Each structure stands twice: as C-alpha cells, then as structure tokens.
Amino acid sequence: MTGENEQGRGREATTAVILDAAEALFSARGFTDVTVRAIARRAGVSHALVHRYLGSKAEIFRAILSRNQGVMLAAAPDNPDLLETTSLIMREGLTSHRRYVRLLADSALHGLPYEQTTGRFAGVDRLVELAEQAVASTPSGERTDEDLDPRFVIACVTALFLGWGAAESWVLPAAGIHDMDEAEAIDGLERVMLGILKRNLPGLERSDPASG
C-alpha cells in the first residue's frame, strides 16, 4: 500500500502530504514526542522516503514553519496601525490557522529550541516594527524611563496569543467559564491584547481604532 501511494503521486504532492501529516502530529504532540517513522505512517509513505525528500525531524519542522510563514500576516499585509494589525493577525490565527498556532506553542513547551526554527516569524516581526514606530513617533514628553522596550511588549502579547491557542480548552473551564462560545472568547482576548499594548506603549490610546 505504501509503495502504491509513493508511486501514485509526484514528489511535490507527496512532500505536501508528508508535511500535512507532520504538522498534524507536531501540533497534537509537540516536537519531542513525534518521530519520523510516525510521520511516515500517517502520510502513508516509507520512512526512507521522508528522509530522502525532507531530511531529519528538525528539517521537517522547519519546512512546516517555512510554508506557514506569513499566513497570519497576510490578513494585514500593509496596515500601518499596530492595534488593527494585532487584531487582524490574532483573529486570522485563531479562526483559520489554529493548528499552526498550537504547533508553535506546543513545540516550544516540548523542548524545541528557538535555534531550530526558521529564526524569524513574519507576524511578530511586523508587530515589533509597528510598535517601535509608534514609540519613535511619540513626543519625548510622553515617554518616561520606566517605559518597557516595545519588543518586550510584543513578546508578552505573542506569548498570550500562543498560550491561548494551545490552552483555551483548559483555561476557560479552569476559570469556571464553561459556556463561553468561541466568538465571545476571541472578542475578549482581543480586548485584553489591545489593552496590554495601549497601557505599555506610549501614545497608542490616541490611535485606538475602537475608540471612535
């Protein structure tokens, strides 16, 4: 059966099937608990073929990250407003790419060093860029020595976003919230994330898109 599957698809199509299988496994189990053999079994191909097409487990993971690079940023590719861009990326990730969000969160928690990733993430890069621009454009009189580094603020927002993607089904019941639907939860998460940005980056209150 495996041989028939390998012969019936071209290399590009087979690689896509392998990456789909690997993404599903990594998002469910994290990086450490997935083997190349398990990926091969799920994809219906041989262990040797996976190695020949994609290499090691770490290389497979990087290929998954590469093909997902930019999928959330595509929701707001040229938006100059940090708050709107944050909202659009968050909603795109949790409504259309939740498996990818869970993949990143679970793999970080299960022992994948950052150095083994692609080394950059387009959505985070864009938020850092916009946050630094917002701070740089704020009059010096509105800034203090106690202001946080905008990169750190984005790191905190990113951690909340990834953590929510991985643990929502656990944290809501843990907080005694058993009946909140997904849309309501996403709306609430958006308010919290934007609140973090507005409280910790000077000048953002003036540009809040929801304030009007």
Model confidence pLDDT, tens digit, residues 4-45: 454 556 888 999 999 999 988 987 887 788 899 999 999 999
**Domain with 22 in it: what CATH number?**
1.10.10.60
pLDDT single digits (tens) 159-201: 999 989 888 888 999 999 988 999 999 999 999 999 999 999 9
Domain termination site, one of 19, 49, 67 = 67
- The boundaries of the domain holding residue 149 are 69-207
- pLDDT for 86 equals 96
Query: What residues contact 161, with CB distance under 8 A and at least 6 apart?
Result: 90, 93, 101, 189, 193
CA dist 93 → 51, 52, 123, 178 (Å): 30, 31, 10, 23
Please check the confidence at residue 113 and state whether its pLDDT lies above 80. Answer: no
pLDDT single digits (tens) 117-152: 766 788 899 999 999 998 888 877 666 777 889 999
State whether 180 and 149 are in the same domain: yes
In a domain, 202, yes or no: yes
State whether 60 and 158 are in the same domain: no
CA distance 150 to 154: 6
Domain termination site, one of 33, 67, 101 = 67
